[in-house]
């Protein structure tokens, strides 16, 4: 008698599956609200009368937190295999290194005319 109820729950159309999708939706909404609050704090931080390095450091930390939430939840890296996450971060490191190299090559000093 318990076999049919077990089969109904494991076919993917049971009541538990709907609850799981609803909880994921709630997580997405909560993270979206958190990202909106962090963005509001970032906007307010720009107008606060603090030293520039404090404001820049705060903005970089908030941006990093927002970036991590977006890649792990909205890009689904939290539920992917570890290999996919490692590949993503390898690409991120390569892109960051390329950007840093290009900024160093084409800096403002490199664009000055040569002395005659």
Nearest-angstrom CA–CA distance, 55 and 50: 7
Contact 65, 38 (CB under 8 A): yes
Sketch the domain layout of the chain as residue ranges: 2-76, 80-116
pLDDT tens per residue, range 37-91: 999 999 999 999 999 999 999 999 999 999 999 998 888 888 889 999 899 999 9
């Amino acid at each position: 008698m318990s076999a049919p109820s077990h089969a109904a729950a494991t076919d993917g159309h049971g009541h538990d599956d709907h609850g799981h999708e609803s909880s994921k939706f709630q997580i997405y909404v909560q993270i979206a609200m958190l990202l909106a609050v962090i963005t509001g704090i970032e906007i307010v931080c720009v107008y606060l009368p603090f030293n520039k390095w404090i404001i820049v450091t705060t903005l970089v930390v908030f941006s990093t937190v927002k970036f991590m939430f977006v890649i792990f939840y909205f890009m689904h890296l939290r539920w992917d295999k570890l290999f996919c996450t490692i590949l993503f971060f390898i690409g991120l490191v390569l892109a960051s290194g390329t950007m840093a190299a290009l900024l160093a090559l084409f800096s403002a000093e490199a664009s000055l005319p040569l002395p005659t």
